[in-house]
Amino acid sequence: MAVTNTAALAANGQIKSRKLVNITVDGHEYQVGADQTLLEGLREAGIKVPTLCNWQGLHPAGACRVCVVELEGARTLVASCTQPIVDGMVVRTQTPRVRLARKINLELQLANHPEDCFYCQRNNNCELQTLAAEYGVERRYRGKRKQALNDVTSYALMRDPEKCILCQRCVTTCADVQAVACITPLKRGFDTTIGVAFGEGIGDSECVNCGQCTKVCPTGALVERDDLAKVYTALADPTKYVVAQIAPAVRVSLAQEFGMSPGADFTGKLVAGLKLVGFTKVFDTNYAADLTIMEEAAELVGRVKNNGPFPLVTSCCPAWIKFAEQYYPDHLENLSSCKSPQMMMGAVLHSEYAKKTEATRDGTFVVSMMPCTAKKWEMNKVSEGDVDVVLTTRELVRMLKREQINLAELEPVSFDPVFGASTWAPAIFGVSGGVAEAAIRTAYQMVTGEELPVPDFTPVRGLEGVKTTVVDVNGVQLRSAVISGLQNVRDFFAQGGWEDYHFIEVMACPGGCINGGGQPYSEHWPLRRLMESLYGIDKNMSWRRSHENPEIVDLYEQYLGAPNSEKAHHLLHRSYVDRSMDYLPQ
Ligand code: SF4
Ligand code: SF4
Ligand code: SF4
Under CATH, which number does the domain 109-225 receive? 3.30.70.20
Return the HEC string of 489-516.
HHHHHHCCCHHHCCEEEEECCCCCHHHC
Can you list the alpha helix ranges (DSSP code H) found in 47-116? 96-110
Specify the amino acid at residue 377.
W
Q: Kindly identify the ligand whose nearest atom is closest to the C-alpha of 374.
A: 3
Query: Which of the four pLDDT bands, split at 50, 70 and 90, describes residue 424?
Result: low
SS3 content of the chain, % helix, strand, coil (to 5): 40, 15, 45
Q: Which amino acid is at 146?
A: K
Looking at domain 229-572, its CATH superfamily turns out to be: Fe-only Hydrogenase (Larger Subunit); Chain L, domain 3 (3.40.950.10)
The pLDDT assigned to 436 comes to: 87
Highest mean pLDDT (candidates 272-286, 407-421, 552-566): 272-286
Ligand 3 pocket, 426 CB below 6 A?
A: no
- Probe target for ligand 3 pocket from 507, 515, 519, 527, with the most ligand atoms within 8 Å of CB: 507
- How far apart CA 490 and CA 479 sit, in angstroms, is 19
Q: Which fold has domain 5-94?
A: Ubiquitin-like (UB roll) (3.10.20)
CA gap 77, 67 in Å, rounded: 10
Q: For residue 303, what are the contacts with CB-CB under 8 A and spacing of at least 6?
A: 309, 310, 312, 502
Is the separation of the CB atoms in 24 and 70 below 8 Å? no
What is residue 60's DSSP assignment? P
* pLDDT given for residue 61 in this prediction: 86
Measured CA to CA, the distance from residue 386 to residue 339 in angstroms comes to 10
Give per-residue pLDDT as tens, 340-397.
999 999 999 999 889 888 788 789 999 999 999 999 999 999 988 899 999 999 999 9
Percentage of the chain lying above the pLDDT 70 cut: 95
Q: Is the per-residue pLDDT at 443 higher than 90?
A: no
Domain ranges of the chain: 5-94, 109-225, 229-572
**475 CB contacts (<8 Å, ≥6 apart)?**
none
Q: Provide the CA 411 distance to its chain's centre, in angstroms.
A: 28
Of 180, 325, 489, 515, which is best to mutate to test ligand 1, by the most ligand atoms within 8 angstroms of its C-beta?
180
* C-beta of residue 484 within 8 angstroms of C-beta of residue 465: yes
pLDDT, mean of residues 291-298: 90
The single-letter DSSP state of residue 411 is: P
Q: Whose CA is nearest to atom 6 of ligand 2?
A: 164
Q: Is 259 exposed, middle or buried (0-12, 13-18, 19+ CB in 10 A)?
A: exposed
pLDDT value of position 421:
53
- Report the predicted TM-score, pTM, of the whole model to 2 decimal places: 0.93
The conformational region for residue 511 under phi > 0 = left, psi -120 to 50 = alpha, else beta, is: left
Residue 430: CB within 6 Å of ligand 3? no
5-94 and 229-572 in the same fold: no
C-alpha count within 13 angstroms, C-beta hemisphere, residue 530? 28
26: number of CA atoms within 13 Å, CB side?
12
